[in-house]
Structure 1
Amino acid sequence: MEEARKSGDAKKIDKIEAIGPPPYDTPGRQNKKDNFIFRYGGVVHNNGFRLIGSVMLDFLTSPEYSLLEGLKTIMNKGYEFSMEAMWKDLKQINLTKGIASIKVPVYFFEGSYDMATPTVLVENFSNGLDAKNGKKLIIFKKSAHLPMLEEKKKYEDLLINIVLRESQDR
Structure 2
Amino acid sequence: MIRAVLAAAVLALTATAATAQTAPPADPYDPGRKIVADIQKIVTPNGVQETLEVELGGAKQVINVRGANRDNPILIFIHGGPGSVEMPIAWSFQRPWEDVFTVVQWDQRGAGRSYLLNDPKLIAPTLKPERYRDDAIELIEYLQKRYGQKKVFVMGHSWGSVVGLSVAAKRPDLLYAYIGMGQVIDFRENERLGLEWTIEQAKRDGNAKAVAELEAIKPYPGEGALLPEKTAIERKWSIYYGALAANRRDADFYFRAPRISPEYTPADRKAWDDGSGLTIGALWPQLADISLKTVNRIDTPVILFMGRHDYTTPAPIADAWLKRLKAPKKQMVWFENSAHLPMIEEPGLTFAALLKDVRPLAGN
Q: TM-score under structure 1 normalisation?
A: 0.84
1:159 equivalent in alignment to 2:358? no
| Structure 1 match to 2:279 | 82
Over 3 Å counting, the alpha-carbon distance change for 1:27 and 1:53 in structure 2 is closer
More strand by share: 2
User: Residue 4 of structure 1: CA displacement?
Assistant: 0.3
1:94 equivalent in alignment to 2:291? yes
Q: Which runs of 5+ in 1 are unaligned?
A: none
| Structure 2 match to 1:149 | 344
CA distance in structure 1 between the partners assigned to 2:244 and 2:204 by the alignment? 18
Over 3 Å counting, the alpha-carbon distance change for 1:58 and 1:12 in structure 2 is closer
| Structure 1 match to 2:216 | 18
User: Which segment drifts farther, 8-17 or 62-71?
Assistant: 62-71
User: Residue 11 of structure 1: CA displacement?
Assistant: 2.0
User: Residue 103 of structure 1: CA displacement?
Assistant: 1.1
Give the one of 200, 212, 233 matched to 1:32: 233
RMSD: 2.0
User: Which segment drifts farther, 27-36 or 52-61?
Assistant: 52-61
| Structure 1 match to 2:260 | 61
CA distance in structure 2 between the partners assigned to 1:96 and 1:160 by the alignment? 29
User: Residue 12 of structure 1: CA displacement?
Assistant: 1.3
Q: 1:149 is paired with a residue of what secondary structure?
A: helix
The one-letter amino acid of 1:141's match is E
Give the one of 275, 286, 301 matched to 1:105: 301
Q: TM-score under structure 2 normalisation?
A: 0.42
1:138 equivalent in alignment to 2:324? no
Deviations 1:48-85 (A, max 9, x none): 54xx4443343112121111322554xx5433432211
Conserved 8 A contact 2:213-2:233: no
Q: 2:246 is paired with a residue of what secondary structure?
A: coil
Q: Which runs of 5+ in 2 are unaligned?
A: 1-198
User: Residue 27 of structure 1: CA displacement?
Assistant: 2.2
Instruction: State the identity as a percent.
Output: 28
How many corresponding residue pairs? 163
Over 3 Å counting, the alpha-carbon distance change for 1:56 and 1:116 in structure 2 is closer
More helix by share: 1
Conserved 8 A contact 1:61-1:67: no
| Structure 2 match to 1:42 | 243
The one-letter amino acid of 1:157's match is A
Over 3 Å counting, the alpha-carbon distance change for 1:35 and 1:167 in structure 2 is farther
| Structure 2 match to 1:4 | 202
CA distance in structure 2 between the partners assigned to 1:101 and 1:28 by the alignment? 36
Deviations 1:116-141 (A, max 9, x none): 1222111111112222x211111111
Structure ID, larger Rg: 2
Which runs of at least 4 in structure 1 moved beyond 6 Å after TM superposition? none
The one-letter amino acid of 2:233's match is K
The one-letter amino acid of 1:84's match is G
Q: 2:293 is paired with a residue of what secondary structure?
A: helix
CA distance in structure 2 between the partners assigned to 1:10 and 1:53 by the alignment? 24
CA distance in structure 2 between the partners assigned to 1:135 and 1:144 by the alignment? 21
User: Residue 149 of structure 1: CA displacement?
Assistant: 0.7
